[in-house]
Structure 1
Amino acid sequence: MPISMSVKTLDYTPAYPPYPSLWMAGYGGAPRGNQGLVDRRLRAQCIVIDDGAGPKVMLRVDVVSIPRYVHQAIRSGVTPMVDDHDGNFLIICSHTHSGPFIGTTRPNPYVMMSLTPADVSAIEDTTNVFIAQMIELVEQTLAMARTQVTLWYKEGNASIGYNRAGEPNDLSTVNALIARRTSDNGLHTVLFGYACHAVARGNDRYFCSDFPGAATDVISNALGVQALFFQGAAGDQEPNDPHGPGQVTNLGTILGNEVVAMVNSGGWTAVTGPISTYYEELSLPLTVDLGDPAAVIRARNSYSDRLDNLPPSDFAYRHAEVMLEEIAGVGLPRVFPMPIQRWKMGGLNIFAMSHEVLSEYAVKLRNQTPGKLWVMAYANETEGYVAANGILQDGGAVRWGYEAGWVDNPDISGEATWTTFYPWPAPLKFSPSGPAAPGTTERVVLDASTAMLNL
Structure 2
Amino acid sequence: MPFSMAVKTLDYTPTWPPYPSLWMGGYGGAPRGNQGLVDRRLRAQCVLIDDGTGPKVMLRIDVISIPRYVHQAIRSAVVPLVGNNNGDFLIICSHTHSGPFIGTTRPDPYVMMNLTPADISAIEDTTTVFVNQMVTLVQQTLAMARTPVTLWYKEGTATIGYNRCEEPNVLTTINALIARRTSDNGLHTVLFGYACHAVARGNDTTFCSDYPGAATDVISNALGVQALFFQGAAGDQEPNDPHQPSQVTNLGTVLGNAVVQMVNSGGWSALSGTISTYYKELELQLTVDFGDPAAVIRARNAYNQRLDTTPPTDYGYRHAEVMLDQIAGQGLPRVFPMPIQRWKMDGLNVLALSHEVLSEYAVRLRAQTPGRLWVMAYANETEGYVAANGILQTGGGMRFGYEAGWIDDATISGAGTWTTFYPWPAPLKFSPSGPAAAGTTERVLLDACTTMLNL
What residue number does 1:308 align with?
308
Aligned partners of 2:88 and 2:418: how far apart in 1?
A: 30
- Pairing 1:378–2:378 present: yes
List aligned pairs for 1:265-284, cutoff 5 A: 265-284=265-284
Aligned partners of 2:167 and 2:66: how far apart in 1?
A: 27
What residue number does 1:113 align with?
113
What residue number does 2:433 align with?
433
- Pairing 1:400–2:384 present: no
Which secondary structure does the structure 2 equivalent of 1:99 belong to?
coil
4+ long deviations beyond 3 Å: none
CA offsets per residue over residues 163-221 of structure 1, 9 Å max, x none?
00000000000110000000000000000000000000000000000000000000000
Which secondary structure does the structure 2 equivalent of 1:424 belong to?
coil
List aligned pairs for 1:42-61, cutoff 5 A: 42-61=42-61
- Pairing 1:345–2:354 present: no
- Pairing 1:199–2:199 present: yes
Aligned partners of 1:312 and 1:273: how far apart in 2?
A: 59
List aligned pairs for 1:401-416, cutoff 5 A: 401-416=401-416
- Pairing 1:259–2:259 present: yes
List aligned pairs for 1:324-363, cutoff 5 A: 324-363=324-363
Aligned partners of 1:321 and 1:267: how far apart in 2?
A: 56
Which secondary structure does the structure 2 equivalent of 1:450 belong to?
helix
- Matched AA of 1:197: H
Which secondary structure does the structure 2 equivalent of 1:415 belong to?
coil
- Matched AA of 1:423: P
CA offsets per residue over residues 403-450 of structure 1, 9 Å max, x none?
000000000000100000000000000000000000000000000000
Aligned partners of 1:45 and 1:272: how far apart in 2?
A: 24
397-406 or 265-274: which moved more?
265-274
What residue number does 1:92 align with?
92
- Matched AA of 2:330: V
- Pairing 1:3–2:3 present: yes
List aligned pairs for 1:170-181, cutoff 5 A: 170-181=170-181
Which secondary structure does the structure 2 equivalent of 1:100 belong to?
coil
Aligned partners of 1:384 and 1:168: how far apart in 2?
A: 22
List aligned pairs for 1:91-170, cutoff 5 A: 91-170=91-170
- Pairing 1:236–2:236 present: yes
What residue number does 1:452 align with?
452
CA offsets per residue over residues 127-159 of structure 1, 9 Å max, x none?
000000000000000000000000000000000
CA offsets per residue over residues 194-252 of structure 1, 9 Å max, x none?
00000000000000000000000000000000000000000000000001000000000
Aligned partners of 1:45 and 1:330: how far apart in 2?
A: 37
- Matched AA of 2:443: R
Displacement of 1:370 in angstroms is: 0.3
Identity among equivalent pairs (%): 82
Displacement of 1:86 in angstroms is: 0.4
- Matched AA of 1:296: V
- Matched AA of 1:317: Y
What residue number does 1:290 align with?
290
Which secondary structure does the structure 1 equivalent of 2:162 belong to?
strand
CA offsets per residue over residues 7-32 of structure 1, 9 Å max, x none?
00000000000000000011112211
Aligned partners of 1:422 and 1:271: how far apart in 2?
A: 39
Aligned partners of 2:153 and 2:291: how far apart in 1?
A: 46
Which secondary structure does the structure 2 equivalent of 1:120 belong to?
helix
Aligned partners of 1:136 and 1:273: how far apart in 2?
A: 29
Aligned partners of 1:348 and 1:28: how far apart in 2?
A: 38
List aligned pairs for 1:185-224, cutoff 5 A: 185-224=185-224
Aligned partners of 1:232 and 1:226: how far apart in 2?
A: 20
305-314 or 125-134: which moved more?
305-314
What residue number does 2:12 align with?
12
Displacement of 1:78 in angstroms is: 0.1
- Matched AA of 1:248: V
- Pairing 1:22–2:22 present: yes
- Matched AA of 1:191: L
Displacement of 1:273 in angstroms is: 2.4
- Matched AA of 2:309: N
Displacement of 1:340 in angstroms is: 0.2
What residue number does 2:64 align with?
64
Aligned partners of 2:241 and 2:307: how far apart in 1?
A: 37
- Matched AA of 1:186: G
CA offsets per residue over residues 386-405 of structure 1, 9 Å max, x none?
00000000000000000000
Which secondary structure does the structure 2 equivalent of 1:22 belong to?
coil
Aligned partners of 2:341 and 2:49: how far apart in 1?
A: 16
Aligned partners of 1:300 and 1:433: how far apart in 2?
A: 27
- Matched AA of 1:67: P
Which secondary structure does the structure 1 equivalent of 2:408 belong to?
coil
Which secondary structure does the structure 2 equivalent of 1:25 belong to?
coil
Which secondary structure does the structure 2 equivalent of 1:16 belong to?
coil
Aligned partners of 1:269 and 1:375: how far apart in 2?
A: 18
CA offsets per residue over residues 265-287 of structure 1, 9 Å max, x none?
00001111200000000000000
CA offsets per residue over residues 267-310 of structure 1, 9 Å max, x none?
00111120000000000000001110000010011001111111
Gaps of 5+ in 2: none
Aligned partners of 2:50 and 2:397: how far apart in 1?
A: 48
Aligned partners of 2:358 and 2:167: how far apart in 1?
A: 10
TM-score by length of structure 1 reads 1.00
- Matched AA of 2:190: V
- Matched AA of 2:123: I
| RMSD of equivalent CA atoms | 0.4
Aligned partners of 1:354 and 1:58: how far apart in 2?
A: 14
Aligned partners of 2:8 and 2:255: how far apart in 1?
A: 22
- Matched AA of 2:31: P
Aligned partners of 1:176 and 1:274: how far apart in 2?
A: 19
Gaps of 5+ in 1: none
